[in-house]
Amino acid sequence: MGNQPATEQFFSDKLAESKVHFERALDCKHTEFDDLYPYMIEHPQFFWYKRYVAWSELLTIVGLCEELSFSWKEQFTPHQVEYLEERVMSAKVLDFWFEKNDSKEHAQR
């Protein structure tokens, strides 16, 4: 890892990575979090905690984009932007992040 400048493109790339990480956590798919805490898989609260960590990461990057006046909303649907602006990971976010859970995009992730 070199010293990369904190450009808008850099944050856009990090935001895209964070979005994928959160969506994989929502779908209970493997993320790097699984590698960090492999023993957690045995505990029922693991998937909730994994989602919470991914959501926090996503909110952090969105917050930095806001603070630096970098655009970020284009990477999300209007509903997702609304959820991120509300900042609370509620059941609504978990249930409706993907507007259609049977969509082709959702199935490929």
pLDDT tens, 11-70?
A: 999 999 999 999 999 988 888 777 777 777 777 777 788 899 999 999 999 999 999 999
pLDDT higher than threshold 80 for residue 102? no
**Using the 8-state DSSP alphabet, how is residue 98 labeled?**
S
From the list 67, 65, 35, the residue with the least C-alpha distance to 50 is: 35
The domain ranges of the chain are 10-108
pTM of the model: 0.80
pLDDT score for 28: 82
pLDDT score for 22: 96
pLDDT score for 107: 43
**Count of all residues that appear for the chain in the document:** 109
**Using the 8-state DSSP alphabet, how is residue 90 labeled?**
-
Nearest-angstrom CA–CA distance, 76 and 21: 14
